[in-house]
Amino acid sequence: MSIRPMLMMMVILPFWTSFLIRVYAWIGILKPEGLLTVALQAIGILGPDEQVRIINTEWAVYIGIVYSYLPFMILPLYAALEKLDGTLLEAAQDLGCPPLKSFWVITFPLSLPGVIAGTFLCFIPIMGEFVIPDLLGGSETLMIGRTLWTEFNSNRDWPLAAAVAVVLLLILVVPIVLFQNQVARSQEQGR
């Protein structure tokens, strides 16, 4: 029996709950008296009076972003690797290629479409993210999406917020256009 369907279910399972509920769950895990502290105290890593202080730090934001956007990276990679012809790896092994070299020479280049798709699927929403930095990172965490929200709604500095939004749009659109041009050129050369 293959373990692959169970692993895919574990990747997709977080999507069955609301994004906001998942972020609030991380608050319950990472707060000083939260689940992480209780677990580390129970196994003896922390003393009874010690606490883990991760909430309202950049590390909490990193944990929240990785947890929230990891499925968007895994699913395109899975789709690209699912198409991989296993006989290529078998042939490399028969010809004496070590596993690490066959990964870099065969698997990685053939998985690049999935890597690129996953990168775009993650990069674009992470650039505009303001919920995770606001709830997990506190007032000291600076990210573009949170700064935009603050400038528009709290400071009412609409010209600055509009300028930052245009810069953010250029940061997001320029790599996509360059990538599309590169793909179009390579397709023309391949014909």
Residue among 22, 124, 121 at smallest CA distance from 71: 121
Question: CA-CA distance, 188 to 180, in Å (whole number)?
Answer: 12
pTM more than 0.85: no
In the predicted model, what is the mean pLDDT of the chain?
A: 88
Question: CA-CA distance, 27 to 79, in Å (whole number)?
Answer: 32
Structure tokens belonging to residue 114: 């999935």
pLDDT surpasses 70 at 191: no
Instruction: Evaluate whether 51 touches 33 at the Cβ level (below 8 Å).
Output: yes
Instruction: Evaluate whether 37 touches 46 at the Cβ level (below 8 Å).
Output: yes
Structure tokens belonging to residue 22: 């998942």
pLDDT surpasses 90 at 68: yes
- Dump pLDDT digits (tens) for 28-50: 999 999 999 999 999 998 888 88
Residue type, 98: P
Overall average pLDDT of the 73-85 stretch: 92
Structure tokens belonging to residue 189: 């050369």
Question: CA-CA distance, 188 to 191, in Å (whole number)?
Answer: 5
User: How is 36-76 classified by DSSP, letter by letter?
Assistant: HHHHHHHTTSS-TT-----TTSHHHHHHHHHHHHHHHHHHH
Which residues, 6+ apart, have CB-to-CB distance to 161 below 8 Å? 148, 151, 152
For residue 183, name the pLDDT band (cuts at 50, 70, 90). Answer: confident
The dihedral sign for the CA sequence 42, 43, 44, 50: negative
Domains annotated on the chain, with CATH: 4-190 (1.10.3720.10)
Give me the residue label for tokens 């129970």: 42
pLDDT surpasses 90 at 147: no
For residue 167, name the pLDDT band (cuts at 50, 70, 90). Answer: confident
